[in-house]
Amino acid sequence: MKKIEIIPAIDLIEGKCVRLSQGDYSQKTVYNEHPLEVAKMFEGAGIRRLHLVDLDGAKAKRIVNYKVLETIASKTGLVIDFGGGLQSDDDLRIAFECGAAMVTGGSIAVKDRETFLYWLERYGPEKIILGADAKERKIAVSGWQEVSELPILEFIESYTSRGIRKVISTDIARDGMLTGPSTELYQEILEQFPSLELIASGGIASMKDILELEEMAVPGVITGKAIYEGKIKLEEIEIYNSSRL
């Protein structure tokens, strides 16, 4: 059985490492004022990839925390996927110039399909990730401030048919709540799109949750709050990664 890739998240507001609960900006916890320190801790535990989210950008609808991206990319060897507020060709250029290996587009894929498909064609499916974040199976956008009427499976299908291979899917109701992942949703996605590089996100509370997703053959998982709250220790991730080499 192929091991699942564990991808820690750093969410940024005002350049600080924070977590929200269910995407609510009023339910914000600041975990560290120096995201680079956090990224280096992850790298020190043998982690290779980082999910970096510009929450200020998601609200402002343009890239904001690019300096933090640049600092982490230049001072660690982490492979960074970056998202939040990427709405224009210029935003994308800045993200890649500042060291992102991949970018995630969610709102743009809903609101401006033509631009997102252009990015996919220009940069290729290895660099462009579809953000499929949902509340009650309906796609949510703009830092989860708006919920559309678009069913998640329909949304994913509309892009896999055009070449998307990587999808990050967050169940918003579970995000930051430590209530366990949305396994039924991920099962459905994988059944419908078996070759998809699906990354599950939201609700992870323990290594047991991660192993459950591995059993389901989910390729990757993002976890944030569980690490920051000590529910998953970096030593556990390090042991897991080294035991599966």
Cα 62 to Cα 137: distance, rounded to the nearest angstrom: 26
11 is catalytic: yes
Is 133 known to be catalytic?
A: yes
Phi, psi torsion values for 70, nearest 5 degrees: -60, -40
- From the candidates 11, 56, 81, 171, give the one annotated as an active-site residue: 11
Query: HEC profile for 189-201?
Result: HHHHCCCCEEEEE
Catalytic residue among 133, 171, 175, 209: 133
Contact at 8 Å (CB) between 144 and 135? yes
Whether residue 172 contacts residue 23, with contact meaning beta carbons closer than 8 Å, is answered with yes
Contact predicate 73/106, CB 8 Å? no
Kindly report the number of other CB atoms within 10 A of residue 25's CB atom. Answer: 15
- Catalytically annotated residues: 11, 133
